[in-house]
């Protein structure tokens, strides 16, 4: 260890207490990404308790020329929250900053520390009689700071928008260690550049989010969930159109799941009962209807929608949950897909968005190209169809060595998928972000003008390249 590194560790211990500067023992929870794609080595994992401590850490690191990787729950999908292998970066874990600071029912806002786990925030809001609608399968471990850092999507975007749309204000420690208090809670503020939106989705490369003011909604009076078997993706898109028409703002979830994705759930979690397993339907859809009137009203509208959809031939069969337990079980099937896929082995993930109406054509063309280039390849296709966002994932052929498949074929598979995304004017990252996994791809798929503006922003706000270097943009 260099003298300047030892000096820095001493300063960090002074700032946050020796017990919160971790340098020894098993640090894999902080140094390995969730998908186990990469394992890094940190100089230290530093765990501040408040914003002033974060500012002190940043100032000390800037002075020592040491870079910082902000980390929340470390559930990100694109290798963005773990250190590189050099042993010279600090992981700044926000997990100790986990308080809900204030809930303002009149303003329909909640102000929260960045390290607050999403599920804890949802529960606090619900107890107070409000809905915080952000919802994703990692909610038991991901943090609101990580959600903002990635502009996370999840399963309620069709009604409430991405994390960006739910955020009214931020508190940020800048790359110089200054504190910007932007926790306004205002719904209107046109005083120049919107710094909040610059920070959201910047994946820790421009500053550290330490607090946020988020929007709340009234709790729905009734919430119904259904699962429908559909004869094709075109039919699923047709069903989405009907659901918008019949449920309007009541439509709070619309997820699609391919047959093979569902098979992986039954294979790895045999205790789950997955409807329509014996049917020939190539896709199933989970729909959610939230209603402000009554359960009877919600059921009536939902049943009418399904009747119309069956008559139009876009639904083969459907089940409507009769209880909260049954509704949870249907959602659990959908949310288990990433875990089942991880158990099946290493895989290539694509988190793409395309205009909803063009998704069936995209899938037809891309499936055909991949099957021709990589015979036997297994396509795990599921995702947030209501938002035009597919997790169009690729698993090695059955029995093949997954590690070798990724080593030899990931590049070729990605080229086929992302070139097709370009042809459809889509995006190569709908909700997971760029991290280091997609950084080089971004160079090819984002316009040079846009990349130039992004580099100018990074240079202006973080000229020393302290904040998460090499993520989103090349260092
Ligand atoms: P981390 O993984 O710790 O960090 C993610 C990025 O944000 C990193 O670049 C990090 O440096 C940065 N960051 C973290 N905290 C801060 C901060 N305070 N200030 C600045 N930057 C910060 N994502 C979706 O969008 N939709 C889904 O439906 C979804 N489902 C998932 C399901 C599973 C089972 C899993 C494992 C992941 C899923 N994800 C999903 C991905 C992941 O959960 C989200 O990206 C989440 O927002 C990450 O939060 P985190 O606290 O774990 O952040
Ligand atoms: C999901 O929607 O389940 C997530 O974004 C995670 C994934 O893609 O695996
Ligand atoms: Zn997703």
CA–CA distance, 430 with 90 (Å, rounded to integer): 28
CA–CA distance, 203 with 439 (Å, rounded to integer): 12
CA–CA distance, 12 with 227 (Å, rounded to integer): 52
End-to-end CA, the chain: 23
Q: Nearest ligand to the C-alpha of residue 142?
A: 1
pLDDT at 195 over 90: yes
Please give the average per-residue pLDDT across 177-184, as a whole number: 97
- DSSP annotation string for 92-113: EE-TT---EEEEETTTTEEEEE
To test the ligand 2 pocket, which listed residue (391, 430, 432) has its Cβ within 8 A of the most ligand atoms? 391
Distance from the CA of 119 to the center of ligand 1, in angstroms?
Answer: 13
Distance from the CA of 147 to the center of ligand 1, in angstroms?
Answer: 5
CA–CA distance, 289 with 226 (Å, rounded to integer): 9
> Which H or E run includes 298?
helix 295-311
To test the ligand 2 pocket, which listed residue (118, 337, 393) has its Cβ within 8 A of the most ligand atoms? 337
How many other C-beta atoms are found inside a 10 Å radius of the C-beta of residue 25?
7
pLDDT value, residue 1: 82
Give exposure, 376-393, as e/b (b: 16+ Cβ within 10 Å): ebbbbbbbbbbbbbbbbb
Distance from the CA of 304 to the center of ligand 2, in angstroms?
Answer: 30
The 10s digit of each residue's pLDDT in 401-411 is 999 999 999 99
C-alpha dihedral (156, 160, 162, 168), degrees to nearest 10: -140
Nearest Cα neighbor of 469 from 11, 65, 27 is 65
- Tell the residue nearest (CA) to atom 7 of ligand 2: 338
CA distances to 102, 369, 376 from 372, in Å: 56, 5, 9
CA–CA distance, 382 with 460 (Å, rounded to integer): 39
Q: 226 - beta bridge partners?
A: 287, 320
Residues 6+ apart with CB under 8 A from 335: 137, 155
- Tell the residue nearest (CA) to atom 33 of ligand 1: 138
To test the ligand 1 pocket, which listed residue (35, 137, 150) has its Cβ within 8 A of the most ligand atoms? 150
Q: Average per-residue pLDDT in the chain?
A: 97
3-state secondary structure of 144: helix
- Tell the residue nearest (CA) to atom 6 of ligand 2: 338
How many other C-beta atoms are found inside a 10 Å radius of the C-beta of residue 313?
12
3-state secondary structure of 370: helix
pLDDT value, residue 119: 98
pLDDT value, residue 107: 98
C-alpha dihedral (132, 138, 140, 144), degrees to nearest 10: -50
Atom of ligand 1 nearest to the CA of 76: 2
Distance from the CA of 154 to the center of ligand 3, in angstroms?
Answer: 5
Cβ atoms 102, 83 nearer than 8 A: no
Atom of ligand 1 nearest to the CA of 143: 51
pTM of the model: 0.97
The 10s digit of each residue's pLDDT in 264-314 is 999 999 999 999 998 999 999 999 999 999 999 999 999 999 999 999 999
pLDDT band at 136 (very low <50, low <70, confident <90, very high): very high
Q: Give the residues surrounding ligand 1 with Cβ less than 6 Å away.
A: 34, 69-77, 80-81, 94, 114, 136-138, 142-143, 145-147, 149-150, 152-154, 203-204, 208-209, 338, 431-432, 435, 468, 471
The secondary structure of residue 221, as a DSSP letter, is S
Please give the average per-residue pLDDT across 415-442, as a whole number: 97
CA–CA distance, 471 with 462 (Å, rounded to integer): 13
How many residues are given for the chain? 475
3-state secondary structure of 49: coil
> Which H or E run includes 320?
strand 317-320
pLDDT band at 475 (very low <50, low <70, confident <90, very high): confident
Cβ atoms 54, 91 nearer than 8 A: no
* Beta-strand pair 42-46/89-93: parallel
Cβ atoms 10, 2 nearer than 8 A: no
- Tell the residue nearest (CA) to atom 2 of ligand 2: 383
Distance from the CA of 153 to the center of ligand 2, in angstroms?
Answer: 10
Residues 6+ apart with CB under 8 A from 223: 252, 288, 289, 290, 291, 298, 327
Please give the average per-residue pLDDT across 215-244, as a whole number: 97
pLDDT at 8 over 90: yes
To test the ligand 2 pocket, which listed residue (136, 138, 393) has its Cβ within 8 A of the most ligand atoms? 136
The 10s digit of each residue's pLDDT in 382-393 is 999 999 999 999
| Per-residue tokens: 395 | 């698993």
Cβ atoms 170, 182 nearer than 8 A: yes
Please give the average per-residue pLDDT across 136-153, as a whole number: 98
């Amino acid at each position: 260890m260099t003298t300047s590194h030892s000096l820095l560790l001493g300063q960090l211990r002074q700032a946050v207490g020796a017990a919160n500067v971790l340098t020894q023992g098993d640090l894999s929870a902080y140094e390995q990404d969730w998908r186990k794609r990469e394992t890094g080595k940190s100089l230290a994992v530093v765990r501040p308790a408040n914003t002033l401590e974060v500012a002190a850490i940043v100032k000390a690191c800037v002075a020592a020329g040491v870079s910082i990787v902000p980390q929340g729950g470390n559930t990100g999908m694109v290798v963005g929250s773990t250190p590189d292998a050099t042993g010279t970066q600090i992981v700044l874990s926000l997990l100790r900053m986990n308080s809900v600071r204030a809930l303002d029912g009149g303003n329909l806002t909640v102000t929260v520390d960045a390290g607050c786990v999403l599920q804890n925030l949802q529960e606090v809001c619900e107890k107070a009689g409000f809905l915080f609608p952000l919802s994703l399968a990692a909610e038991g471990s991901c943090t609101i700071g990580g959600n903002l850092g990635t502009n996370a999507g999840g399963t309620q975007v069709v009604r409430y928008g991405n994390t960006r749309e739910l955020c009214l204000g931020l508190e940020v420690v800048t790359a110089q260690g200054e504190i910007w208090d932007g926790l306004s809670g205002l719904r209107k503020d046109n005083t120049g550049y919107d710094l909040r939106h610059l920070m959201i989705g910047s994946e820790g490369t421009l500053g550290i989010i330490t607090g946020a003011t988020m929007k709340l909604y009234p709790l729905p009076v009734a919430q119904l969930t259904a699962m429908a078997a559909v004869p094709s993706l075109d039919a699923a898109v047709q069903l989405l159109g009907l659901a918008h028409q019949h449920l309007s703002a009541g439509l709070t979830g619309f997820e699609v799941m391919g047959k093979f994705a569902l098979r992986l759930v039954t294979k790895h979690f045999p205790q789950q009962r997955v409807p329509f397993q014996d049917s020939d339907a190539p896709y199933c859809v989970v729909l959610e209807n939230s209603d402000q009137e009554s359960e009877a009203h919600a059921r009536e509208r939902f049943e009418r929608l399904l009747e119309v959809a069956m008559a139009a031939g876009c639904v083969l069969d459907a089940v409507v949950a009769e209880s909260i337990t049954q509704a949870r079980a249907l959602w659990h099937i959908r949310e288990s897909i990433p875990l089942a896929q991880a158990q099946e082995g290493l895989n290539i993930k694509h988190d793409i968005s395309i205009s909803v109406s063009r998704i069936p054509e995209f899938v037809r063309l891309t499936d055909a190209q991949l099957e021709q280039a990589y015979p036997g390849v297994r396509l795990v296709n599921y995702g947030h169809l209501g938002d035009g966002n597919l997790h169009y994932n690729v698993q090695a052929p059955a029995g093949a060595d997954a590690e070798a498949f990724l080593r030899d074929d990931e590049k070729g598979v990605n080229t086929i998928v992302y070139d097709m995304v370009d042809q459809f004017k889509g995006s190569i990252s709908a909700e997971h972000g760029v991290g280091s996994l997609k950084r080089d791809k971004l160079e090819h798929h984002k316009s040079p003008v846009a990349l130039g503006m992004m580099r100018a922003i990074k240079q202006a706000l973080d000229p020393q390249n302290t904040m998460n270097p090499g993520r989103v943009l090349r260092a």
